[in-house]
A and B are shown apart, each in its own frame.
Chain A
């Protein structure tokens, strides 16, 4: 709507020329809900804020050894070949991006000097290019200077299909050019409101040294000795690497940030399991930090009693959800089940979907399973804060669900299971094998039974469930079930990639070998429009409104039943001050870690 008017009105409210209530009234008058109007106001004019640092030490080094425990140890140290976050974490000890994400999802500068914005002229107003200024005087660990050439090279390296980099998706469509030794310009093929993907964060942003990788681009990439012995610009210099077992580094005395790093050496040990990792950090204090402690809260609470460490939580946007299948998983059309040519026999009645969402007892799931590591939510999109809808709600109410089904004609049969027109409310509910998931399944099944819905549970080994094996019927994209539960990590503080998955033209089908990302096979024109518009929208306020609308559409249609907004759980020694962001890898803010004396 009326962009200019909205902008000037926000300005009016800020300057005190318009009263807040009047603003909201006008918004409601043009069809926006009051909470949404409030939200728009809250983020009016907010571009990208710079993250604050909580780092206290006043000199470099002197902190002794930092011992990290990664129960899945990194297996390689080239971030562009990383098969999982563990490899990105390990590489990030040595390599650095231009900027990273702080715990609030704000940008923090690493190798750049300024956050690009339209105001400072570094970000094009149409969102088609962004210019980065590099920090002068930064040196690679071998003493060679860090320049714009390294960024241009990293781009060429990653986008070359023969290199087989996993970050190719980020780099292949952009153009990176060198303006001068300390300036690069990234050009996007179309307006890109989230321009901080290339060269930012640990996921795809880590920059490689041109002088060491130049001979190993393309098909020779796997022969590079530096794949296993990184030379970066980071706070620690590489010493030793044993895949899956150990990484060692020592302090970089020439590090480009003042008074950093705090620790004299670093060690990252791999192997084992999450519970014993928690034990080694919290109970015996053998290690300072334990990664990804997915352990039941009961166990953690017990370990923390009188222990030497504690758990640390980071809020991100990871949502554990139950997805509903909009196609029929039991009918085969042209050699494919869950085909777009079918409609789900039960879920085509929206009442059934609504009733199901009333039967997921999120409070019990939180209490019995996730504890401190979860938050209940009605939303599919749970972060960053400015994209989270306040218009939705959830409740757990078996009677209400039963009544809704009664009213819609789903009457209990002789066996207690509801049916209508000969179709019984029998559902297959699948997920990956994982303790908390099986417990959640049991809680949902119990409530459904009370409401007269028969639920059959199925659990699939994670390596199958999450694989892209075309021949296997049990993968999540095939979705040969009525319900399925898992989570898709939101790996950057922006919802664009995450929400683009559910566009109508991205449905997973036999034709695209089930590589389509829209696995619920939900088709909604309004949603497509909102997402497409958000992808082109440079105004942060309007863009947020589009994503909130998209989330609300999913909620109205009950495409997903969000079970839990999950937090990252880590274990840390009592005196360690780690900086963990829910929007980044655990080691992304490592330069700011220190120990309280």
Chain B
């Protein structure tokens, strides 16, 4: 087992190197530079812009810039934002708690909806409940988050005036009021993200359950005279959850990416909105760092999923 993990980690190194190289070259080939906004400012002579480019090494050949970046990264230096003139790791760490809070809550909400609904629907396939749940799930994952986000804003903020639609990180309250306010402003983004996730996850849980529920050992369990609840929870769900756990693990990096749009709509100062604004202002070191973090997350969670798989189902051996 530990040998397997070690081998996987070693394999991850060349793939991360490859990913970083591709990312770097694609970003370098993309047009525009971080100081382009200065071009239309008549106060700033063009040679100043050229000097800035030279100072930040933007005129060096691409492969040199990549090697510089790689070398710095190996020393734990994530780079330096051109636009904010501060270290990239600080920028990212500043944004991380908000993203974790919103995405974490959304993921929990999704699980809280998907598992009970999926399980119950599978126990009574093609019943009215199952039909309704299926229909809602289809609607849920057909509607993109930018649409539901705006719809929620129109209904709950503009028309009903119940919830704020600008997310603030500094709530001027303490104690319970602070917690309540924190929850209140997160309701809409968490609901938008969570419901979208829940929709596809419900379908997945249902089909995983259906696969298992027909197996012989379930019939045996029933024949032993065990009650419906025990059969479902103890025998069926445990086995059906194996693919679901893998799916969730693999989805986590994707969720970080999927939150980008939602973060933009609700002005949530998370990693996603940092990525968007950095892309728009051509702040390559930040874009590079954020995308690289995403790449690492994908590799890492793939590994975690594989390890979990073997642990949940001893029939699968890892060599």
Task: Spell out A's residues near B (CB within 8 Å).
Answer: 65, 69, 72-73, 75-76, 78, 81, 83-84, 161, 164, 166-170, 197, 203-204, 222, 227-228, 240, 242-246, 248, 267, 269-273, 276, 279-280, 283-284, 286-287, 461, 463-464, 466-469, 472, 474, 477, 486, 488-492, 497-498, 501, 513, 515-517
In the bound complex, residues from chain A placing their C-beta under 8 Å from that of B81 are: 75, 243
Residue-by-residue, is B5-47 near A (CB-CB < 8 Å gives 1, otherwise 0)?
A: 0000000000000000000000000011111111111111111
Tell yes or no: B213 within 8 A of A by CB: no
Q: Chain A's interface: helix, strand, loop or mixed, by majority?
A: loop
Q: Which listed residue (A204, A245, A284) contacts B169, Cβ 8 A?
A: A245
In the bound complex, residues from chain B placing their C-beta under 8 Å from that of A204 are: 43
Tell yes or no: B55 within 8 A of A by CB: yes
**CB-based contact B282/A463 at 8 Å:** yes
CB distance from B296 to the nearest CB of A (A): 23
In the bound complex, residues from chain A placing their C-beta under 8 Å from that of B157 are: 284
CB distance from B50 to the nearest CB of A (A): 7
Beyond A84-B37, A467-B36, 14 additional contacts (C-beta under 8 Å) are: A75-B277, A76-B86, A78-B85, A83-B281, A166-B48, A170-B43, A228-B86, A242-B94, A267-B170, A272-B264, A286-B165, A466-B40, A492-B43, A498-B42
**CB-based contact B41/A222 at 8 Å:** no
Binds A, one of B64-72, B227-235, B243-251, B265-273: B265-273
In the bound complex, residues from chain A placing their C-beta under 8 Å from that of B42 are: 488-491, 497-498, 501, 517
Kindly identify, within residues 114 to 151 of chain B, every residue whose CB is under 8 Å from any CB belonging to chain A.
none
In the bound complex, residues from chain A placing their C-beta under 8 Å from that of B40 are: 466, 486, 488-489
Kindly identify, within residues 43 to 59 of chain B, every residue whose CB is under 8 Å from any CB belonging to chain A.
43-53, 55
In the bound complex, residues from chain A placing their C-beta under 8 Å from that of B46 are: 468, 515-517
A73 CA / B166 CA spacing, docked (Å): 13
Q: Which listed residue (B51, B85, B169) contacts A81, Cβ 8 A?
A: B85
**CB-based contact A246/B264 at 8 Å:** no
Identify the closest chain B residue to A245 (Cβ): B269
B interface, how many residues as a size bin? Answer: 35 or more
Given contacts A76-B85, A166-B44, contact A466 B164 (CB under 8 A): no
A65 CA / B34 CA spacing, docked (Å): 34
Tell yes or no: B219 within 8 A of A by CB: no
Given contacts A464-B31, A469-B33, contact A269 B168 (CB under 8 A): yes
Q: Which 5 residue pairs of A and B lie closest in terms of their CB atoms, listed nearest first?
A: A515-B46, A245-B269, A463-B32, A467-B36, A271-B267
A503 CA / B274 CA spacing, docked (Å): 41
A267 CA / B171 CA spacing, docked (Å): 11
A222 CA / B90 CA spacing, docked (Å): 14
Tell yes or no: B78 within 8 A of A by CB: no
CB distance from A98 to the nearest CB of B (A): 17
**CB-based contact A248/B170 at 8 Å:** yes
Most buried by B among A197, A228, A474: A228
CB distance from A105 to the nearest CB of B (A): 16
A269 CA / B168 CA spacing, docked (Å): 8
In the bound complex, residues from chain B placing their C-beta under 8 Å from that of A83 are: 34-35, 37-38, 82-83, 281
Given contacts A83-B83, A269-B166, contact A246 B269 (CB under 8 A): yes
Given contacts A83-B38, A515-B50, contact A243 B84 (CB under 8 A): yes
**CB-based contact A491/B43 at 8 Å:** yes
Identify the closest chain A residue to B34 (Cβ): A83
Q: Which listed residue (A246, A461, A516) contacts B170, Cβ 8 A?
A: A246
**CB-based contact A463/B36 at 8 Å:** yes
Kindly identify, within residues 251 to 286 of chain B, every residue whose CB is under 8 Å from any CB belonging to chain A.
264-265, 267, 269, 273-274, 277, 280-282
A120 CA / B223 CA spacing, docked (Å): 106
**CB-based contact B164/A467 at 8 Å:** no
CB distance from A287 to the nearest CB of B (A): 7
**CB-based contact B51/A286 at 8 Å:** no
Tell yes or no: B158 within 8 A of A by CB: yes
In the bound complex, residues from chain B placing their C-beta under 8 Å from that of A197 are: 43
A227 CA / B48 CA spacing, docked (Å): 20
**CB-based contact B267/A468 at 8 Å:** no
Tell yes or no: B80 within 8 A of A by CB: yes
**CB-based contact A280/B86 at 8 Å:** no
In the bound complex, residues from chain B placing their C-beta under 8 Å from that of A244 are: 84, 269, 273-274, 277
Task: Spell out B's residues near A (CB within 8 Å).
Answer: 31-53, 55, 80-86, 91, 94-95, 153, 157-158, 161, 164-166, 168-170, 172, 264-265, 267, 269, 273-274, 277, 280-282
CB distance from A437 to the nearest CB of B (A): 14
Identify the closest chain A residue to B49 (Cβ): A468
A/B interface sample: 7 pairs, CB < 8 A: A76-B85, A83-B37, A83-B82, A167-B44, A244-B274, A468-B46, A474-B31
In the bound complex, residues from chain A placing their C-beta under 8 Å from that of B170 are: 240, 246, 248, 267
Given contacts A69-B166, A161-B51, A246-B170, contact A271 B273 (CB under 8 A): yes
In the bound complex, residues from chain B placing their C-beta under 8 Å from that of A245 are: 95, 169, 269, 273
Given contacts A242-B94, A276-B165, contact A227 B86 (CB under 8 A): yes
In the bound complex, residues from chain A placing their C-beta under 8 Å from that of B51 are: 161, 164, 168
**CB-based contact A497/B43 at 8 Å:** yes
A574 CA / B273 CA spacing, docked (Å): 30
CB distance from A299 to the nearest CB of B (A): 13
CB distance from B285 to the nearest CB of A (A): 13
A139 CA / B141 CA spacing, docked (Å): 58
CB distance from B76 to the nearest CB of A (A): 17
In the bound complex, residues from chain B placing their C-beta under 8 Å from that of A78 are: 85
**CB-based contact A491/B41 at 8 Å:** yes
CB distance from B35 to the nearest CB of A (A): 6
Q: Which listed residue (B49, B169, B274, B280) contacts A246, Cβ 8 A?
A: B169
In the bound complex, residues from chain B placing their C-beta under 8 Å from that of A489 are: 40-42
In the bound complex, residues from chain B placing their C-beta under 8 Å from that of A515 are: 46-47, 49-50
CB distance from A463 to the nearest CB of B (A): 4
A516 CA / B172 CA spacing, docked (Å): 50
**CB-based contact B48/A284 at 8 Å:** no
Identify the closest chain B residue to A72 (Cβ): B277
A497 CA / B34 CA spacing, docked (Å): 23
A470 CA / B169 CA spacing, docked (Å): 41
A81 CA / B34 CA spacing, docked (Å): 12
Given contacts A84-B37, A168-B48, A463-B282, contact A286 B166 (CB under 8 A): yes
Identify the closest chain A residue to B30 (Cβ): A463
CB distance from A89 to the nearest CB of B (A): 13
Identify the closest chain B residue to A219 (Cβ): B55
